[in-house]
Amino acid sequence: MKKILIFDDELGFRGRVQGLLESLTFVTDTFEIEIPDNRELTHSMEILEDRRRAFRETGAWEDGERISVDDASIFVVDYDLFEAIGFLKGDVVAYLARCLSSCGLIVGYRYGDNAFDLTLREELRSFTDLYVGGEQLGNPGLWRVTEAGFRPWHWPILPDYLRDFEKKVEDVKESLAEDVPIWQVLGLTTPELFAMLPRSIGEFLGADPAETTFRQFVIESDNGLERRDVTSADDVSDEVVARVGAARISKWLERLVLPEQDILVDAPHLVSRYPSLMTGDAMDIETWNRTARLVSHEDLGLRTDLIEPFRLKKDHWLSRPVWFWDEVRECQDILEVREPWKTERPNWVLCEDASRFYEEGYREFVADVESPYARRFVRKFDHVEYRPKIRFSL
């Protein structure tokens, strides 16, 4: 059975988080939930630090004692571990776990937090693959497809995201022999997309995004391994490059590139511009809601024949089907491109905090993106804190 490992140093919080997850039978049917006590937690950190010292000498860490982190399919870590490990923070734990263990996904949280980030961006310095509020760990929408309530659109479905993470790792491993550029590993047909990235997005990869390889990114970009952890670039193992590179580039795609919705565009944002791409009744809101699900591109109710040439074929690199916007908007087979004056759009919008379209009862905000599509909408649930609030008044 797969394992969810939870690092939390406060007994009351550990019990609360465990209770949230154990209340979801579809989670416990697939995952064993393990929560080490503070002594085990401290010991694990000591082993990770020992591995770090070995890694600085040899570029590998695999020999020696295994710890529970190594067997974690999903490693859930509290951002504040003061009681157990002094001033060590969760983002440091996430870095050590990603670089020096064989764990799967890393999810960060803060107990008591139940917020929605109106910037639509996540801090990329953190090595967590996803951050959620502590109260949101038990949200069914984080673990399977749901159709009601608070469920941020940017969330992946964690079991699917875990499955796809291993596919990403294998992609990177296969690329290392010839050391091909990142864009080629991701399945892009040309490097032009990377070459035209806004500086604020492209600089995450390195000085020359269109030529950067996964090995260069992990070792040289300052967004992979810390410089002090690389004594000799030639000695860093392929396993470390693959797992770190896959996780970091995946997060970059999900939390920096995709929120723009003008480099890559997902289904509900695409039909908001081009309703004719839907196969059902465009005056029925449920036709639109069918597009706002994390399922195969074939099950979204789209005219896939028109836009298939523009779809990212290596779809395991993102948590949802996406298309290349610059290519879609040039397609004359799409009614709104060919005859934009004939476009008819109903009076409803996609709410980013609900993963559904609504006709009323929503609120507009401005996301922290550089694209022309910065104006987005939320349903605004009473029990959720929306921040920063200034995004509502821009």
3-state secondary structure the chain: CEEEEEECCCHHHHHHHHHHHHCCHHHHCCEEEECCCHHHHHHHHHHHHHHHHHHHHHCCCCCCCCCHHHHCCEEEEECECHHHHCCCEHHHHHHHHHHHCCCCEEEEEECCCCEEECCCCCCCCCCCCEEEEHHHCCCHHHCCCCCCCCCCCCCCCHHHHHHHHHHHHHHHHHHCCCCCEHHHHCCCCCCHHHHCCCHHHHCCCCCCCCCCEHHHHHHHCCCCCCHHHCCCHHHCCHHHHHHHHHHHHHHHHHHHHHHHCCCEEEHHHHHHHCHHHECCCCCCHHHHHCCCCCCCHHHCCECHHHHHHHECCCHHHCCCCEEEHHHHCCCCCCHHHHCHHHCCCCCCEEECCCCEEECCCCEEEECCCCCCCCEEEECCCCCCEEECHHHHCC
Q: Which positions of the chain have pLDDT values less than 70?
A: 81-88
Return the CATH fold of 2-162. Rossmann fold (3.40.50)
> What pLDDT is attached to residue 389?
96
* Residue ranges matching CATH 3.40.50.2300 in the chain: 2-162
> What pLDDT is attached to residue 82?
47
> What pLDDT is attached to residue 110?
87
> What pLDDT is attached to residue 173?
97
> What pLDDT is attached to residue 85?
54
